[in-house]
Structure 1
């Protein structure tokens, strides 16, 4: 059996990103939710990790840097697992960062899983479109067109490469927060 094609995934994302992301969500989020829950995470942790993993996969696929040796959903679960391990190590270094009182570990909620087909869809690029022209230009130039920061700084009128780097980081954080808020607001039940 030949390895899945990263080109096919890229084409699917470019042709109908909402449908492609929905398919990935249905296949990959339940295992990520279980994994994070079984390893001490909350429902919010699972959502955050999945969103970050999806952004990484999307950027690699559309940017042409993705190499698949398994299915896209398996690759996405692997990214999420690595992100969760990284987050656990980060939290271990910061012991004062405890779970909020109202956070329930996902292991408690695992018995209440809903049908996968009822999960909502979302499209990351829709959120990129809402960022505003300056942020959209910076993120697309850096991640999708792989332009050097010197070129991005010059094209967008930043005084230095450092200013462009800071702006890129701020825009990426705005995008992540926007996607997280929308993902949470879609009333996903566990």
Structure 2
């Protein structure tokens, strides 16, 4: 009988991940994700935000465990939840730095669609993605549009590890955000 990976010491977790990664990660997901989803949603995020944060935390845990660098002082699921909390707090701080006047005062305006605005917004975002360069465009489209796993993206782009692909995805996403912010800032100054 195999112990559940959320109760294993770091070496046993490493062995479980190496023996049957999918089964071990699925067990960790079932054990820890509901708590992460509750935490993120309770702190201003969406279920999609919780999925993003959890996926990043799983990558970190996996790389630490298989690389022999993981030291657990609690269960693996508790460790995952703590990584997710830290990453979500970091994301909230990052979002707080965005210009507050970028959002309308009336939340209903967020859902209001005008045909002209949606037609202009679509190509504009794609224009920003195009300006990032071929590699960033390829990574962001693969991850967000085609929903490819980071393992596949790492292999397709010749990264040595999934963590490297994750870091590059974040760098590309941050470049895209900064580009949009600069353009928005320029528009608000000009108007």
TM range (shorter): 0.5 to 0.7
Describe the SS at the equivalent of 1:132.
helix
The aligned runs of 1:27-176 (5 Å cut-off) are 27-96=31-100, 101=110, 127-129=150-152, 131-132=154-155, 135-136=158-159, 138-139=160-161, 168=164, 172-173=168-169
Aligned equivalents of 2:161 and 2:13: distance in 1? Answer: 21
Match of 1:6 in 2: 10
More helix by share: 2
Describe the SS at the equivalent of 1:135.
coil
Describe the SS at the equivalent of 1:68.
coil
Contact conserved, 1:135 with 1:171, CA < 8 A, in 2?
Answer: no
Structure 2 residue runs of 5 or longer lacking an equivalent are 1-6, 112-148, 174-191
Aligned equivalents of 1:72 and 1:170: distance in 2? Answer: 21
Quick check: 1:18 aligned with 2:22? yes
Deviation at 1:94, TM superposition (A): 1.3
Deviation at 1:95, TM superposition (A): 3.2
Deviates more, 1:39-48 or 1:68-77: 39-48
Contact conserved, 1:29 with 1:50, CA < 8 A, in 2?
Answer: yes
Deviation track 1:50-75 (CA, whole Å, cap 9, x = no partner) reads 11111111111111110001100010
Q: TM-score, normalised by structure 1?
A: 0.56
Q: Which has the larger radius of gyration?
A: 2
| Number of aligned residue pairs | 124
Q: TM-score, normalised by structure 2?
A: 0.56
> Which consecutive aligned stretches of 4+ in structure 1 deviate over 3 angstroms post-superposition?
95-102, 129-134, 168-172
Quick one: higher RCO (CA 8 Å, sep 6+), 1 or 2?
A: 1
Aligned equivalents of 1:133 and 1:83: distance in 2? Answer: 26
| Aligned-pair Cα RMSD in Å | 3.0
Structure 1 residue runs of 5 or longer lacking an equivalent are 103-125, 144-167, 178-190
Contact conserved, 1:49 with 1:80, CA < 8 A, in 2?
Answer: yes
Distance change >3 Å, CA 16–CA 4, structure 1 → 2? closer
Match of 1:159 in 2: none
